[in-house]
């Protein structure tokens, strides 16, 4: 787990109001370099950063410089990628339930289009035309062939083609003139068990071998999806990129033999998750049936604890070494009882005005924010490599909140 140096927190507090998310550019770059080095042993490796994890163009630009592409699934995400200088096949468009105009935009950008359903082949043809390169998203369903280790319940997931549809899909695309084919799946999430990540690769490699055998279609690239986990709890251990890469390489050589597809991933969380923090101030302390610490941040700034019961490590600035002998619920101000960052968390004694750091908010943090209850999303800050702190997104104001309303019409409204 990465800690934000106290000096940096104080510097940021000097200049910016809480709450804010703050990211560390140097750590993001170092991790990206390590990621690329480890997985670079795989042919043609590239990670398409999942834009939904941290949709900020400053971050996308940093990642582009470190050799990453962008995994997008909506028009605004495609636009963000383009603004950050990520274009053409450095964009993977992995959408579902896709509107026609998004297929059009993706095709125009020259992005790799990853189709989620059989019916999208005709839909794409009608609305945007079939590109020369198409990727298909596979959902293995209940299959456990070859002793693959697949967790979760793909059969309950809305994504992807069934196995039979996948074969039909490649045949149909071949008939329609497609020359280059990709295969994609995404069946793990926040996974710390390296075996399951390697298991996904094994499963896909077996499909590639079967596609070659049954259809004589050579898959040019395989996208293993995202889903590499991060240790949100201090006692958890990070995965080893090297061990995963070596496991995938071994399976590649054993299963694919003469086939040489490129290997892609679309990790988001593992790339930026540990290098972001939500910094908030304690507004009120409340003692009723339990002890509550009320922050100036709410689930509008970080939803994961409220919606998944996700754990985020919490520290109190200047009190890290004090005995953690107080039990608190750490809450926001939303009128929803699940607006809690932590429940029954042992922390040092907290006072009003204390600064709280919520860890690992660099992915699926600010991005999931929303405006329910009139809550506004916070600013995002970036610690540059030279130590300076810049604002890469300002906080929302009430003007932003009201931007979609026309109060002049309200005056005439009877
Ligand atoms: C959310 C998502 C990702 C990124 O997942 P992480 O857990 O952030 O790695 C990648 N691909 C697809 C299709 C997704 O929906």
> Ligand 1 center to residue 266 CA distance, Å?
6
> Ligand 1 center to residue 295 CA distance, Å?
29
The domain locations on the chain are 25-271, 274-401
Select from 51, 98, 136, 186 the residue to mutate for testing ligand 1; criterion: most ligand atoms less than 8 Å from CB: 186
Q: What is the CATH number of domain 25-271?
A: 3.20.20.10
Domain covering 274-401 assigned CATH 2.30.110.10 in the classification = no
Q: Which atom of ligand 1 is nearest the CA belonging to 94? A: 13
Q: What is the band of 58 on the pLDDT scale with cuts at 50, 70, 90?
A: very high
> Ligand 1 center to residue 388 CA distance, Å?
30
> Ligand 1 center to residue 414 CA distance, Å?
47
Reported as a single tens digit per residue, the pLDDT across 260-315 is 999 999 999 999 999 999 999 999 999 999 999 999 999 999 999 999 999 999 99
Reported as a single tens digit per residue, the pLDDT across 107-164 is 999 999 999 999 999 999 999 999 999 999 999 998 654 434 444 578 888 999 999 9
Q: Is 227 in the pocket of ligand 1 (CB under 6 A)?
A: yes
Q: Is 354 in the pocket of ligand 1 (CB under 6 A)?
A: no
Q: Is 53 in the pocket of ligand 1 (CB under 6 A)?
A: yes
Q: Which atom of ligand 1 is nearest the CA belonging to 190? A: 7
How much is the pTM? 0.96
Q: Which residue has the higher pLDDT, 155 or 65?
A: 65
What residues form DSSP beta bridges with 291?
287
Q: Is 64 in the pocket of ligand 1 (CB under 6 A)?
A: no
Reported as a single tens digit per residue, the pLDDT across 328-347 is 999 999 999 999 999 999 99
* Residue whose pair of structure tokens reads 């795989």 in the numeric block: 42
> Ligand 1 center to residue 139 CA distance, Å?
15
């Amino acid at each position: 787990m990465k800690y934000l140096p106290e000096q940096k927190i104080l510097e940021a507090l000097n200049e910016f109001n809480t709450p804010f998310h703050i990211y560390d550019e140097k750590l993001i770059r170092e991790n990206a370099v390590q990621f690329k080095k480890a997985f670079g042993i795989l042919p043609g490796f590239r990670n398409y950063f999942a834009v939904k994890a941290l949709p900020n163009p400053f971050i996308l630009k940093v990642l582009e410089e470190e050799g990453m592409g962008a995994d997008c699934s909506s028009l605004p995400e495609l636009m963000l990628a383009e603004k950050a200088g990520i274009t053409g096949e450095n964009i993977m468009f992995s959408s579902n339930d896709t509107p026609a105009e998004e297929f059009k935009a993706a095709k125009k950008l020259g992005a790799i289009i990853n189709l989620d359903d059989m019916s999208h082949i005709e839909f794409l043809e009608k609305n945007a035309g079939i590109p020369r390169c198409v990727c298909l998203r596979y959902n293995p369903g209940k299959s456990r062939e070859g002793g693959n280790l697949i967790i979760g319940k793909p059969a309950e997931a809305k994504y992807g083609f069934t196995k039979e549809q996948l074969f039909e899909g490649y045949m149909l695309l071949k008939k329609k003139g497609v020359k280059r084919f990709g295969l994609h799946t995404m069946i793990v999430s926040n996974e710390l068990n390296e075996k399951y990540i390697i298991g996904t690769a094994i499963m896909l490699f077996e499909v590639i071998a079967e596609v070659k055998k049954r259809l004589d279609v050579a898959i040019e690239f395989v996208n293993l999806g995202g889903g590499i986990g991060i240790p949100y709890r201090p006692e958890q251990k990070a995965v080893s990129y090297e061990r995963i890469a070596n496991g995938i390489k071994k399976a590649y050589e054993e299963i694919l033999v003469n086939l040489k597809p490129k290997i892609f991933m679309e990790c988001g969380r593992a790339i930026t998750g540990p290098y972001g923090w939500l910094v908030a101030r304690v507004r009120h302390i409340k003692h009723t049936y339990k002890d509550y610490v009320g922050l100036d941040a709410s689930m509008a700034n970080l939803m994961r604890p409220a919606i998944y019961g996700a754990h985020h490590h919490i520290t109190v600035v200047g009190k890290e070494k004090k005995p953690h002998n107080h039990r608190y619920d750490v809450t926001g101000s939303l009128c929803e009882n699940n607006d809690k960052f932590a429940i029954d968390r042992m922390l040092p004694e907290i006072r009003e005005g204390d600064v709280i750091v919520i860890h690992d908010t660099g992915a699926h943090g600010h991005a999931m924010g929303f405006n329910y209850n009139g809550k506004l999303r916070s600013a995002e800050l970036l610690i540059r490599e030279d130590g300076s702190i810049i604002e890469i997104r300002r906080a929302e104001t009430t003007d932003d909140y009201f931007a979609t309303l026309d109060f002049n019409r309200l005056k005439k409204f009877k």
